[in-house]
A and B are shown apart, each in its own frame.
Chain A
Amino acid sequence: GAGVSQTPSNKVTEKGKYVELRCDPISGHTALYWYRQSLGQGPEFLIYFQGTGAADDSGLPNDRFFAVRPEGSVSTLKIQRTERGDSAVYLCASSLNSYNEQFFGPGTRLTVL
């Protein structure tokens, strides 16, 4: 079956621009997670959805970051006024529920010039 997919795989943007990163979870998975991974580091938790609602958004670094999951499936991570420090790989993962194994997508590599 299809795994978690993320689009685009690579995104290059200029400082100050707005970007949207998309995650398609495994069908039927109610839990969805966004992480950010910088070079040489482990994934850093950003936000966790259970269904349509954000159950924990404590990892979002500031109010330039926002994520939605309006129908409980696809999720979009939105970054406003991008900064060079936002450059990283953004990983999405889904799981059957919050206590199960997380399946990761390949990530979106964001580069802010």
Chain B
Amino acid sequence: AQKVTQAQTEISVVEKEDVTLDCVYETRDTTYYLFWYKQPPSGELVFLIRRNSFDEQNEISGRYSWNFQKSTSSFNFTITASQVVDSAVYFCALMQVYNFNKFYFGSGTKLNVKP
């Protein structure tokens, strides 16, 4: 069975602080994708990153960075110098490549960035 765990239900930081959102997953598949999505108060899901199971390179995009470690089944997301606009719910998800591309989501982490 597939499982994605986001243990941090809610995090509050002050603007300009760095914050890391944790994601741990379980799967027996060897080929899979991991995703992060942002859900602002408006409700839509905003795609942030997709990483396949064979690519453990860390990625940086502006203030965002992702650390994928297969050895610990983790795919953590760091926001550097957080801003109020980063306030949202963030979801980590796993996609099964050989099972109709089905998604398994974590329960989400609500990030509050205060000015």
Q: Tell me if chain B binds chain A.
A: no
